[in-house]
Structure 1
Amino acid sequence: MQTQKERYLWLLSRKLSGGITEEEKQELEALAKADPQLRKEAEAMQVFWGRSSGENEEDTRSAFEHLKARMHATDPQMWPEEAPGTAGRGWRVYLLRAAAAVFFLAAAGYIIKASGLLPGNDGGLRADYNVRGTRSHIKLADGTTVWLNSDSELKYPMRFKGATREVYLRGEAFFDVARDASKPFIVHTETMHVNVLGTSFNIKAYPEDSASEATLITGEVMVELKSNPEKKIRLRPAEKLVVPNKTDSLPEASAGAAPVIMKPTYFLKADSAIIETAWVDNRLIFQDESFGRLASRMERWYNVTIRFENASIQHLRFTGIFGKEQLEQALRALQLTEHFNYRITDDTVTIY
């Protein structure tokens, strides 16, 4: 009897080969929603499959021959050698069978190591990426704990070497850094370097957003801006640094494109919830936020694309909290305070 993981990978192989039925496709999506980790693991094989079709087939075939040899050595009965004369597209069929195997990760890991065709092999760094709608928890080798938000990627070494502990972030993450005075912890983003010894803080650094943010909860951090390395900005607890990603002005800052230090946003005076870090507790909190800005957060939260037919609707403002609400429940809740309509087609929401 197939395990859930084996079933998922078998369905994925059907999808990659183009032979999946609509019923099987729905089952695949349901399994992915039930266990996001399966989807994360399977993305590696999908990337490999997509890239292999556009690259030199001989090079890809050669890399896969190494994989076949390893699979055969592991279990000759499940992975028999091909009979003579089965050339042509046989290696691709073999790949589909490998995708459906219980030791999928070993196969994907071997391709990463042997051919470098898959992500995650960047100068000895491991890359963890969360697709939209998923969040994860990572424990680094030094004891540092990281909560990684949706549509975010963290690159980090399996073991820290040298005089510093350095990681690379695209997206949003909350860090609870293990204290080690001899080895500063540095988070690199596209706009800034955040240097700490032992503290907890949140960094939001989506390149497509108008600004990046560093919100300090405990301890102390020093921020160096890539645009102005000479200037060091020190943050203390309950302070937030807002740094423009582009040259356009920030709605939060009257000083145009200059970095701004401000206070984190508490949801209500009687509520201790901090909006900037509420996502760690699986809560999407917004306060007097424009629909346009809220929509971009909802896109990552629910793994959808939101489009506005009427640009003026983007200026509607909302305050509230989403926790376990499904997408339609959230949209109906917003309709209780402002008038708008919506329609959902597949993974696209149209607001009008």
Structure 2
Amino acid sequence: MTETEQASDQPFRHRSVLLDEAVDYLINDSAGRYVDATFGRGGHSRLILGQLDAQGSLMGIDKDPEAIQVAKELAAQDGRFSWYHGSFSELSRALDSQQWPTVQGVLMDLGVSSPQLDDAARGFSFMRNGPLDMRMNPQEGQSAAQWLATADERDIADVIWRYGEERFSRRIARLVVARRQEEAIETTRQLAELVAEAVPKKEKHKHPATRTFQAIRIFINRELEDLEVGLAAAVERLAPGGRLVVISFHSLEDRLVKRFMRDLARGPKIPKGVPVTAEQERSEFCLVGKASKANEQEITENVRARSAVMRVLERRTN
């Protein structure tokens, strides 16, 4: 999943990035319990199920009602699979609903999926004109259009800068506020053209609205806040030997994931001078391998893979 966009002649298809690598890192017990915390269209889930035996089980979690429809179909086909409609920040509640105290692995494939980008009606894409929505669950919360219609200029600029790292955030916010007094900003095309007008310097091979759309989407869906909660919930429920596998698609996500895993692997912070044993200093978590990226072949076949970074954390067995 990624916010990087490219027009496609085959909309609504989704190719999971780092598919084989992620599942290979995740599965260490074919009879274990696992969570695909970002089910999407089930690419990872189907491969996971293919590596589990009759005793193994998998839960898929997703905010998107369209993804849940696919999850329901998979559950009807395979009794080892169950689903939960919600954010991975609700991971503990989801596991409690199945009476799973611990799991052997949790996979998170962050960001927005190809079907969401490719469906103009969802309002994620500046490449396809549609209603300016951007909600991963269109049944909850306010849309991007509703927020832009009422938000303070300073708040708009802050969101675009904080989540999009857009250096022209103030110019964009100023034009949004001026333009909305003339007409409601209700479509992706309106916003994309407005941003292009506000940004004085264009980057080669990059649409000027890329960062702004990313920022508003992250804000509307509380993606970074949910990620912090979801990561903490995942490691809390990992069984000994269990792994957390996270695929990120932009620097804000990856920075958060990298810091979270690094701090856990370092172990508890003990004040200087406090006598402790080596065992007390040792963390119960460790990093598995180095950060992984998609290879050239995968990037050639799927341009959205070029920004993917995968990191893996394991709870030690002793």
Q: Which structure has the larger Rg?
A: 1
Q: Between Structure 1 and Structure 2, which shows a larger proportion of helix residues? A: 2
Query: What TM-score do you get using the length of structure 1 for normalisation?
Result: 0.27
Q: Between Structure 1 and Structure 2, which shows a larger proportion of strand residues? A: 1
Greater relative contact order, per chain length (Cα 8 Å cut-off, separation 6+) = 2
Query: What TM-score do you get using the length of structure 2 for normalisation?
Result: 0.29
